[in-house]
Structures are given as structure tokens and as C-alpha cells.
């Protein structure tokens, strides 16, 4: 961790060193310095990724505009989970540029309402509308409410045969990638890490795009990564004068567990109080991760 290359390897969710060097050389991210390629072995990557099996060759059929095809999948969370009682997470992946969104659910019955929120969000951010969904035949995607919604909004369903993951290799690759990254963290923090991993994967290269990250392809702006920190790093959070006395400490030691995209602050966990906080005024010790 004395080598800055290793810091960025960790900050970007243990992205491989070849991709890290390529992103720096092609200036794909703002705030990413020049990277000296390292051939050293990362034990964490071996623990999470060893015995990786190749997926089938990628499909030659690709969407030719944003939101033309959205890949959808629901996954059950790893238990136990320290934060809340969310039992599932829901992926939406834009086939055109691989931009990914994730939502956390208490019940599978919440999938329909979550999809409507997602549809409203992405169509307001983009000039296109959702044309089709690629999904499995689970009941949550084939309810009467969903069927009526498909017809009312002209959305085509692309259903997969049960137990045939190769029909939706985009989702399978994403699931494998996120779970490989999640094995690097404590199970109690893993739900927060999934959210963090999606944030990072949107800012990492993909074979589906040339010299561009999914985030840049979606927003048309090069993402800045100068604020990234290693997951589970130690953060010293400033305590505002209004909530402390003159004899109270001015900072609290917490654990970094992600990024808040609404406020652009850091998400941190206070182990002494068992609470989550969001704050911008944080001093990090990444070697203490």
C-alpha cells in the first residue's frame, strides 16, 4: 500500500492492473494519475476471482441507442446484513453502454414499483425511452401489473428460458464481477459494497466500449475519480460545532462504506454508535483499511 498504483487498484474495486494502466494512458478518468504497471500478486483478487471461468463469447447483437434494451435481474442478498432488512437487489443494465443501476428491496413484490421509478429517472436524464426488457421468467416480471404496463408503454419483453444464463450473459457477467469484488469485504458490509461496486464499475472500462467508461457514455462527461477512497478505509469525521460541547472531541473514527451520489458526500459507519452517516469533511487513512 506504499505504492500509489496499489491505492488506485483498491479504490477502483480491485480493477485489474492492465485496465488501470490503460485508463491512465488514455485519460479516461479525471483525477487518475499516471500509473506504473505492477505485476505483483494481489491476494484479495485471488480470493475473490481465482478459478474464474470464461463466459460464452459476447453477442454480436447490440442495442444501437440508449435504453433500447435493458437487462434486468433480481439477486438475493448475502446474509447477515448489518444495514437495514433489504433481502434483494435489483440490477438494471443499459445494453448500449453498460451503464448500471442498482436498487435494494425488502420484498420481490417491490420490483414493479421500483421499475416505474427507474423508468422515470432514466428517461428524464436521457432523450430516449425504454424499448425492451431482457429478463427471466420469474413471477415478479410477469405479474398482471407488469403485463398491463408493458402494453400501455409499448415495452417489449425478451424472456429467457429457465436455467439458461447464457441467454442473458450481460447480467451474468455483471453479477460475477460484483460478487468477485464483494468477497473482498466483510459480509456485514457487503450490501453497501454492492452499491459501491456498481458506482465503481460504471467508472471502469468495459470491452463493450472503446476508450470510454459506461458513465461517460451515459452522461457525455468524463468522470472524476480524485475523490475515491479504499473501501473500509478509516475516516476521521469532523464533528460540527453545533452538535458538540467545548470539551467534546472534534472528530470521530469511522469506517468508509461508499459514496452518496445525491450529496456527493462519503458514507461512513460509526461502529461505536451502530449508525450510518454521510459527510464531506473527512480525513482518511487508507492504510488503516
Structural domain contains residue 63? no
Q: 137 and 32, same structural domain?
A: no
Q: Are residues 124 and 81 located together in one domain of the fold?
A: yes
To which H or E segment does residue 178 belong? Answer: helix 169-182
Count the domains in the chain: 3
Same domain, 82 and 213: yes
- Check whether residue 175 and residue 268 sit in a common domain: no
Q: What is the DSSP string of 237-289?
A: EEPPGGGS-TTS-SEEEEEEEEEETTTTEEEEEETTTTEEEEES-EEEEGGG-
Residue 95, CB half-sphere, CA atoms under 13 Å: how many? 23
Find where cell 421499475 sits.
Answer: 115
Residue at grid coordinates 475515491: 228
Where a domain ends, among 219, 247, 262?
A: 219
Q: Which three cell numbers stand for residue 97?
A: 453502454
The predicted structure's pLDDT at residue 148? 94
Residue 147 forms part of a structural domain: yes
Alpha helices (H) in 12-64, listed in sequence order: 17-25, 43-49
35: nearest Cα among 26, 44, 25: 25
Would you write out the chain's pLDDT as a tens digit for each of its 289 residues?
567 888 898 899 888 888 888 999 999 999 999 887 666 677 777 766 554 445 445 555 678 999 999 999 888 876 555 555 677 889 999 999 999 999 999 888 899 999 999 999 999 998 899 999 998 877 688 888 999 999 999 999 988 776 665 666 888 888 887 777 666 555 567 778 888 989 999 999 988 888 899 999 999 999 999 999 998 899 999 988 777 777 778 899 999 999 998 888 999 999 999 899 999 999 999 886 5
| pTM for the structure as a whole | 0.82
Q: Is residue 134 part of a domain?
A: yes
- Domain encompassing residue 27: 4-49
Measured in whole angstroms, the distance separating CA 242 from the mean position of its chain's CA atoms is 34
Joined grid coordinates for residue 283: 480525513
Structural domain contains residue 227: no
- 86: domain CATH number is 3.30.420.10
The answer on 270 and 215 residing in a single domain is no
Residues 241 and 271 in one domain: yes
**85 and 18 inside one domain:** no
60 domain residue, yes or no: no
Which cell numbers in the block locate residue 98? Answer: 453498460
Amino acid at each position: 500500500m506504499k505504492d500509489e498504483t496499489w491505492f488506485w487498484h483498491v479504490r477502483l474495486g480491485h480493477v485489474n492492473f492492465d485496465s488501470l494502466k490503460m485508463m491512465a494512458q488514455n485519460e479516461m478518468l479525471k483525477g487518475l494519475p499516471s500509473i506504473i504497471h505492477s505485476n505483483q500478486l494481489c491476494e484479495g483478487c485471488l480470493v475473490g476471482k481465482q478459478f474464474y471461468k470464461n463466459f460464452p463469447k459476447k453477442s454480436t447483437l447490440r442495442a444501437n441507442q440508449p435504453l433500447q434494451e435493458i437487462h434486468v435481474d433480481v439477486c438475493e442478498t448475502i446474509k447477515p446484513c448489518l444495514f437495514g432488512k433489504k433481502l434483494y437487489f435489483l440490477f438494471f443494465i443499459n445494453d448500449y453502454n453498460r451503464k448500471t443501476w442498482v436498487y435494494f428491496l425488502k420484498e420481490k413484490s417491490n420490483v414493479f414499483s421500483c421499475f416505474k421509478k427507474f423508468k422515470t429517472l432514466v428517461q428524464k436524464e436521457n432523450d430516449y425511452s425504454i424499448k425492451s426488457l431482457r429478463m427471466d421468467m420469474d413471477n415478479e416480471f410477469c405479474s398482471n401489473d407488469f403485463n398491463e404496463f408493458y402494453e400501455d408503454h409499448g415495452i417489449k419483453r425478451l424472456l429467457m428460458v429457465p436455467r439458461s444464463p447464457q441467454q442473458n450473459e450481460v447480467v451474468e457477467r455483471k453479477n460475477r464481477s460484483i460478487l468477485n469484488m464483494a468477497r473482498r469485504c466483510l459480509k456485514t458490509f457487503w450490501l453497501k459494497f454492492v452499491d459501491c461496486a456498481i458506482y465503481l464499475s460504471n467508472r471502469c472500462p468495459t470491452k463493450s466500449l472503446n476508450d470510454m467508461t459506461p458513465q461517460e457514455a451515459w452522461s457525455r462527461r468524463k468522470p472524476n475519480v480524485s475523490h475515491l477512497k479504499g473501501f473500509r478505509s478509516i475516516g476521521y469525521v469532523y464533528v460540527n460545532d453545533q452538535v458538540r460541547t467545548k470539551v467534546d472531541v472534534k472528530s470521530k473514527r469511522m469506517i468508509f462504506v461508499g459514496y452518496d451520489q445525491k450529496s456527493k458526500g462519503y458514507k461512513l459507519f460509526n461502529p461505536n454508535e451502530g449508525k450510518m452517516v454521510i459527510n464531506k469533511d473527512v480525513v482518511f487513512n487508507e492504510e488503516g483499511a
